[in-house]
Amino acid sequence: MTTEARQKKITELIIKRGSLSVQDLVDEFQVSDMTIRRDLNKLEQSGIFERYHGGIRYVKDESPVLREAKYRDEKKKIATHCLDLISSNDTIFLDSGTTANYIATGLAESLLENVTVLTNSLTTSYPLRYAKNISLFMAGGEFLQNCQAFFGSEARSFFDSLYVNKAFIGTSGVTEEGFSVFHFSDAEIKQTMIKSSKVSYLIADASKFGKRSMNLYAPLESVDRIVTDDSLSDYWVSLVQNKGVKMTRV
């Protein structure tokens, strides 16, 4: 079993049982204590697991309400800048996430005309439901409550069959390896959005940098520009720009 496969299986077991000891996992996978500890250190970086002496526990993913409350001002500034990147007659992807919701709210209140928005997110679509200047299309599929969005093969096929001017894509984590999210199905959708757009913008507040979630969905250089807030350290700005990726701090 590869390291990645083992870590995915460990993730499933922790979520199912709530917590596991190092010894439980050594017995389960027949590998060394040191190997398991390295795995757990990696998994803890996702932010949904917490190490304790001799084991690891599942810390439930934050509800959409709690996520929205965190770094609200930074996300609103990012959304305001993204609105300036959208023009009348554009066709855009907006994925799930608090910042995408703020972009949608801004679009509904804007003077832009004939903008087409394609999304898989209920929360993103909600502010646009009565907007006369927006043509709104929703992907179907399997609904994940904690994300308030639709995923799976049906949603993936929806985005794969399209090609748009711009995509605005969120993330749970940004490391030197790239962008990552917890749910594999969310990672698939984000990959497809990047591939199916002429210009892709990665939207992430500074708190996401240095964090690694379970599923890596794209390298840094796969997007055209990263939009973040002005509290991001110069270290990350330099790292991103050395990868040849444009960055805007707002």
Residue 62: pLDDT band (50, 70, 90) is: low
Mean pLDDT of 55-61: 77
Q: Are 233 and 208 in contact (CB under 8 A)?
A: no
3-state DSSP call for residue 184? helix
Give the model confidence (pLDDT) of 106-116 as tens digits: 999 999 999 99
Give the domains, in start order, of the chain with CATH numbers. 3-58 (1.10.10.10), 66-249 (3.40.50.1360)
Give the model confidence (pLDDT) of 155-165 as tens digits: 999 999 999 99
Give the model confidence (pLDDT) of 21-57 as tens digits: 999 999 999 999 999 999 998 888 766 788 888 899 8
- Tracing tokens 């757990």 back to the chain, one arrives at 40
| DSSP string of 28-78, one letter each residue | HHT--HHHHHHHHHHHHTTSSEEEETTEEEE-PPPPHHHHHHTTHHHHHHH
Q: Quote the distance between the C-alpha of residue 236 and its chain's center.
A: 18
Mean pLDDT of 211-234: 93
Contacts of 89 (CB under 8 A, 6+ apart): 113, 114, 115
Give the model confidence (pLDDT) of 200-210 as tens digits: 999 999 999 99
C-alpha to C-alpha distance for 149 and 138, rounded to whole angstroms: 10
pLDDT at 227: 98
For residue 22, the surrounding DSSP H or E stretch is helix 22-29
| pTM, rounded to two decimals | 0.77
173-175, strands of its sheet edge to edge: 173-175, 178-181, 215-218
pLDDT at 11: 87
User: 225-228 and 246-249 as β-strands: parallel, antiparallel, unpaired?
Assistant: parallel
For residue 125, the surrounding DSSP H or E stretch is helix 122-125
pLDDT at 242: 93
- Tracing tokens 């002429």 back to the chain, one arrives at 198
* Among 132, 105, 102, 100, CA closest to 119: 100
What distances in angstroms separate CA 202 from CA 22, 48, 123, 178, 243, one per listed residue? Answer: 36, 22, 19, 11, 15
**In the predicted model, is pLDDT for residue 172 greater than 70?**
yes
pLDDT at 124: 95
User: 225-228 and 197-203 as β-strands: parallel, antiparallel, unpaired?
Assistant: parallel
C-alpha to C-alpha distance for 225 and 77, rounded to whole angstroms: 16
